Chains A and B, each alone.
Chain A
Amino acid sequence: MIGGLFIYNHKGEVLISRVYRDDIGRNAVDAFRVNVIHARQQVRSPVTNIARTSFFHIKRSNIWLAAVTKQNVNAAMVFEFLYKMCDVMSAYFGKISEENIKNNFVLIYELLDEILDFGYPQNSETGALKTFITQQGIKGQHQTKEEQSQITSQVTGQIGWRREGIKYRRNELFLDVLESVNLLMSPQGQVLSAHVSGRVVMKSYLSGMPECKFGMNDKIVIDKQGKGGTTDDPVKSELGGSGKQSIAIDDCTFHQCVRLSKFDSERSISFIPPDGEYELMRYRTTKDIILPFRVIPLVREVGRTKLEVKVVIKSNFKPSLLAQKIEVRIPTPLNTSGVQVICMKGKAKYKASENAIVWKIKRMAGMKESQISAEIELLPTNDKKKWARPPISMNFEVPFAPSGLKVRYLKVFESKLNYSDHDVIKWVRYIGRSGIYETRC
């Protein structure tokens, strides 16, 4: 198991050091600094073995977090734990920065004592932790016996992510379907790979211990119901018959509140939600993806000292919708000496420090196209190596889900309190963003 946990600043000074196992000595702290943080080379692996000791590290801005062990630990678990620790720390004091860590070191030690025992990760849900590890000093001594046992039963209980007795005057929930669409396209316009990775993020402000059921236009579910002969399919009414009726989900993963065995057997998503914001599910689709933009590049080398670049972008969605924050990044060679750009829409600039022409358009409706052309002058070099021609990348945001996912329902049941599904105010929003959206040129 995890033998020790260290946090360093960018210079390699230790900010936090907690050792859990006897086989990890103080010299391990220095070994990591010398061999990884101060290493001349770029980091070649997130796992390093130094003198029969293994170091797992992740970086958040310029802070290094390292877990150390001498055993054959579950490596995936160690990384998951490090990420989780970052989440917990952010939930307590915001950004993970040197200053915040130094100011909160007592709290961090307290957390580390609680969420890692002898190197074994323990309950690390912030919802539960915040009930008894508080920044304003402990209330421990003032708690009643009932309160104490409530805390412990929550920390160890089956619903460790939610405490009892939550009350809201207005029961409200917000559902965000956030998708990032990824594309790799050949210069000829052939899709080399494309997938959507999506997340359903939920903000719930519900009283009591509500039981929720979430439904979407999952092909497997719809097909099953279709066979059953349901005529008034809610999907049709909601979508007004437009778009795809159902989507094929390649794979999905759920927050630990979702009953996985139920999903496995009935493919229904039921759960008792944590309070506040959390990620209900992640999913991935590869079939029938709506690619919001198409990039058509044309690069011509004119002699050895000049390049002509022309890039056309086409928007491919309903004309009534608007894409926002569009940015096209056209890489330029390292020996670029000057660039002249002409674009029909938006603003374009050559950024020498980034070796790219950055073309920004604030808004663009569907089924439109726009174009940029540039002349790039090059300094003659005797470097034999050809320019690697990195791909043209794009950023954008669109108000729909490129995978075609639609939320069909989110039902809330709370039998003990007197509010019903109809009393809950629900909000649904779809945002499609570019992930790695690249076209080779």
Chain B
Amino acid sequence: LKVINCCVWDPSGEIFELKAELNSDKKEKKKEAVKKVIASMTVGKDVSALFPDVVNCMQTDNLELKKLVYLYLMNYAKSQPDMAIMAVNTFVKDCEDPNPLIRALAVRTMGCIRVDKITEYLCEPLRKCLKDEDPYVRKTAAVCVAKLHDINAQLVEDQGFLDTLKDLISDSNPMVVANAVAALSEIAESHPNSNLLDLNPQTINKLLTALNECTEWGQIFILDCLANYMPRDDRESQSICERVTPRLSHANSAVVLSAVKVLMKFMEMLPKDLDYYGTLLKKLAPPLVTLLSAEPELQYVALRNINLIVQKRPEILKHEMKVFFVKYNDPIYVKLEKLDIMIRLASQANIAQVLAELKEYATEVDVDFVRKAVRAIGRCAIKVEQSAERCVSTLLDLIQTKVNYVVQEAIVVIKDIFRKYPNKYESVIATLCENLDSLDEPEARAAMIWIVGEYAERIDNADELLESFLEGFHDESTQVQLQLLTAIVKLFLKKPTETQELVQQVLSLATQDSDNPDLRDRGYIYWRLLSTDPVAAKEVVLAEKPLISEETDLIEPTLLEELICHIGTLASVYHKPPSAFVEGSRVHLRIPHTRVSTRPHPHSPLKCCPAPHSALGPAIVQVSTRKVPVILLGSRLWTLSITSAMPASLGGAPAVGGGLGDLFDLGGGVGMPTGSYVAPKTAWLLAMKAKGLEISGTFARRGGIIQMDLSLTNKAMSVMTDFAIQFNRNSFGLAPAGPMQVLTPLSPNQTIDVSLPLSMSGPVMKMEPLNNLQVAVKNNIDVFYFSCQYPLSLLFVEDGKMDRQVFLATWKDIPNDNEAQFQIKDIHLNSDVASNKLQGSNIFTIAKRTVEGQDMLYQSVKLTNGIWVLAEMRIQTGNPNYTLSIKCRAPEVCQFVYQCYELVLKN
């Protein structure tokens, strides 16, 4: 992986020649030779063989020649560390030169040479340069500290350079301040917990003063640094905002965007009823619009950021729709981004204009753009109900163009419109069916098949249509196959008499001839459902579908908050957290909140869908047909599997018998314990803090499934609807496995119990305490936040019984420092009862030993994330106090495991 040579390079000839020239007596010839060497270096030729000859030219009073030699040194010193030493003397001498330009040049170059011996010699000159009388030297030295830190962080700390660097924040020269801030910010990033930058009102004041005086680049460094500061109160927040707003008129777009970042972040702390808050909101729009007259590359960066800002605070740009209209000559990347923002800003007020534009775009040349425009029309229909009819007729017009990809795209979105407005637009099905043959993309085919299946009773020749697809079943993509299977089953349930043969055919294709497990499983489920209880089958397959939500492509609120803190940076361009593309990056930033618990937050919409969405993909994919039946079936299966897994309600489960039993009894095989302890519900959210919504709840683990049992009580005067729930990142990645099912509106004084299945697939972030869970619940009134703690036993998995041998080895292997001891008092159980009780919560006894009237139980527990916890419990007959020793590679969980022991044994 070393240097790749671009050209054929004859070392003997050319190098030899250059060597001679480098050693020439004539200054001009020397210089020309060095130039040639650099030229070769640029194109990737290896000229490292000339090292000693080039370094010999270093000692010169010709600054231009010196710079060339330095350039060479920076490139090759690392590969020739021994010879690089030859340069040290000259460097050290140059650092003392009376000319500040030369002093700075020397220290700047030395910092770029990553050779230990040079680095050692750098310390003394650097120390002097940091205190040089000339600001040019100081500003260069400030950056040099960051360079040195990158090479040898320890050295920088040992030499006390960090303190000197901190002092430079108070320097009289604004550029020195700016570079010091940049260097400190970078160093601080590799020490996330150190208080290196130590931002306090005094330093902030210094930075704000320097902000008015330094170069455009310096302003960016300072603003980016300011954005990390956490103001003490809203007054400080306002005063910083006031001093940052003038930057919005800077000609440099990066200064503007960084200022926007600071304002967006600090605004969060201002009370919404403050006059200044409104003023600030108004001030943000014009500069954002102005960014769109910059060069296209910057427009792109601006648009990606505006996309975030519009999601966070839609009110800022709601009147600026027109500026996002696409221009014919915009580069494609600008066009696509503008389109995305147009849809986000679409509302009843501007929908007519938007639609007219979109129709215009649908006739353009670029295929991606046209597709996106067609999809956008569908999204408008779903978002603005009043426009649905116009959108549908526009889509029909587009289908008439017969342009293949336009037709396919239109069909995909029409399917979503059907779902949003049932029994309204089905009259267009006939037109859609005419285009059946031209569909060659899986998504469009699947959408069409879904439509045929869903409305089979209204399409006379539905069976023929579906049969035609069946001929090439094996050549279809999985998406289409699954859809075809479901559609034919639907058809059969609606018109059983004529379609028996067809359904048999598809079931056997799916179960016997396919090796795709998803397809086979779905085939079997349908088959058994149909053969055992067609009524149940009807309930499952033809169940009413929940309506799709308006905005499916919003960025997840937690990610959005993080991205807002990164406005202007690459993260905001990719719409990904830095950790997704930077190696070893820091944990995520958060927006400061003044009032955490019940902060009104009308503009951070919660989604009903569990999966985090990215705005990168087209929105409607999220509700594509492929998922529809899965969700539908999934939720049904869910209840079935739970009921069958719970012995008490086994009899009550409808239509579960015979062969179905083993199919649905997913949890049963693992050896279901009976006595898993569930704590009583506790109040999590009080009505007075949540506009009348009261929530109490608890957690349970039932048959390997983690559930959050909630009681929602409406103590307000009006009906509550549209419930949704979401978790913040947490230590074990707990996340709702599906939407919270509150199907009927909650009337005043009514209470509903909801069981929310949880999965462990959410984003992970260590919480304090470890088992803390922050929850947001939304209803038609507002969004509410609360936090609760779950017992760790929730995460104890069923296969947590360790092999004896492994236990012994592991026990020895874990260092003794990780062992924690606890006392469990007042337990009046013998060891067998205790062990049974614990097993109910997946704490398994592996071995028991009795020594001198003392029972020793050796136990193991496995957490959902694969962490093993080993325990030894000593029970002395007659002594109600047990001694518990816990060992684990992650010692922080011990405390919580002990709490579970106590809970289980005492209840």
Q: Interface of A with B (CB < 8 Å)?
A: 1, 13-17, 19-22, 25-27, 29-30, 42-47, 49, 52, 54, 56-58, 69-77, 79-83, 105-106, 109-110, 113, 117-118, 120-125, 132, 137-138, 140-141, 143, 145, 148-149, 151-153, 155-158, 160, 184, 186, 192-193, 195, 197, 250-256, 259-261, 263-264, 279, 281-282, 284, 384-386, 388-391, 393, 436, 438, 440
Contact = CB atoms under 8 A, between A and B. Distances in A.
Contacts of A256: 215-216, 250-252
Count chain A CB atoms within 10 A of each CB in B4, B75, B246, B574 and give the residue with the most. B246
B289 A251 contact: yes
Contacts of B360: 440
Contacts, number: 280
CB-based closest 5 A-B pairs: A251-B286, A152-B136, A76-B254, A264-B246, A77-B254
Contacts of B3: 26
B578 A140 contact: no
A80 B253 contact: yes
B153 interface: no
Contacts of A75: 301, 568-570, 572-573
A117 B137 CA distance: 13
Contacts of B302: 76
B249 A253 contact: yes
Contacts of B176: 156
A156 B135 contact: yes
Contact of A74 (B39, B254, B585): B254
A186 B401 CA distance: 22
A152 B173 CA distance: 12
Interface residues of B, number: 113
Contacts of A259: 212
Contacts of B363: 386, 388-389
Contacts of A15: 42
B100 A106 contact: no
B583 interface: yes
A233 to B, nearest CB: 25
A73 B569 contact: yes
Interface of B: 1-4, 6, 35, 38-39, 42-44, 61-64, 67-68, 70-71, 75, 98-102, 108, 111-112, 114, 134-137, 139-140, 143-144, 146-147, 150, 173-176, 179, 182, 186, 212-217, 220-221, 224, 243, 245-247, 249-254, 256-258, 286-287, 289-290, 293, 295-298, 300-302, 322-323, 325, 327-329, 331-333, 353, 356-357, 360, 363-365, 401-403, 566, 568-574, 578, 581-583, 585
Given A109-B38, A120-B217, A140-B101, A384 B258 contact: no
A202 B112 CA distance: 40
Nearest to B100: A152
A192 B38 contact: no
Nearest to A192: B325
Given A77-B220, A105-B42, A106-B68, A58 B582 contact: no
Contacts of B75: 19
Contact of A152 (B135, B174, B572): B135
Given A58-B297, A105-B38, A138-B63, A388 B249 contact: no
A153 B46 CA distance: 39
A184 B186 contact: no
Contact of A137 (B64, B220, B250, B357): B64
20 contacts: A14-B43, A21-B150, A69-B570, A76-B568, A105-B39, A106-B64, A110-B67, A120-B143, A123-B175, A149-B134, A156-B135, A156-B175, A157-B175, A192-B353, A253-B250, A260-B249, A282-B290, A284-B289, A384-B401, A388-B365
Contacts of A254: 249-251
A16 B44 CA distance: 10
Contacts of B250: 253-254, 256, 260
Contact of B44 (A26, A125, A255, A260): A26
B interface, over-half SS: helix
A123 B250 CA distance: 16
Contacts of B295: 58, 79, 83
A25 B297 CA distance: 25
A6 to B, nearest CB: 10
B224 A74 contact: yes
Contacts of A250: 286, 289-290
Nearest to B327: A436
Nearest to A253: B251
A2 to B, nearest CB: 11
Contacts of A29: 44
B546 to A, nearest CB: 36
A401 to B, nearest CB: 16
Contact of B253 (A57, A76, A385): A76
A385 B401 contact: yes
Contacts of B224: 74
Given A75-B301, A197-B293, A261-B212, A279 B251 contact: yes
A71 B185 CA distance: 13
B333 A44 contact: yes
A253 B64 contact: no
Contacts of B173: 156-157
A41 B174 CA distance: 46
A121 B217 CA distance: 6
Contact of A385 (B38, B257, B403): B403
A342 B35 CA distance: 61
Contacts of B140: 117
Given A118-B146, A148-B99, 16 more contacts: A13-B6, A57-B297, A76-B254, A77-B220, A79-B295, A109-B38, A109-B67, A120-B179, A122-B179, A123-B215, A125-B215, A132-B101, A140-B101, A152-B136, A253-B287, A282-B293
B583 A253 contact: no
A46 B287 contact: no
Contacts of B298: 76, 79-80, 83
B246 A260 contact: yes
Contacts of B98: 145
Contacts of B252: 80, 256
B134 A54 contact: no
A251 B287 contact: yes
A185 to B, nearest CB: 12
Contacts of B325: 184, 192-193
Contacts of B300: 45-47
Contacts of B289: 250-251, 284
A72 B582 CA distance: 7
Count chain B CB atoms within 10 A of each CB in A21, A46, A83, A145 and give the residue with the most. A46
Contact of A148 (B100, B174, B581): B100
A387 B251 CA distance: 41
Nearest to B133: A149
Contact of B111 (A43, A58, A118): A118
Contacts of A195: 323
B570 A54 contact: yes
A22 B114 contact: yes
Nearest to B98: A145
Contact of A49 (B287, B293, B581): B581
Nearest to A77: B254
B215 A160 contact: yes
A131 B108 CA distance: 20
B367 to A, nearest CB: 11
Given A29-B44, A44-B332, A152-B101, A72 B571 contact: yes
B182 A120 contact: yes
A149 B133 CA distance: 10
A439 B215 CA distance: 42
B109 to A, nearest CB: 8
A122 B570 contact: no
B370 to A, nearest CB: 9
A384 B249 contact: no
A72 B297 contact: no
B615 to A, nearest CB: 15
A74 B258 contact: yes
Given A109-B71, A140-B63, A47 B573 contact: yes
Contacts of B182: 1, 120
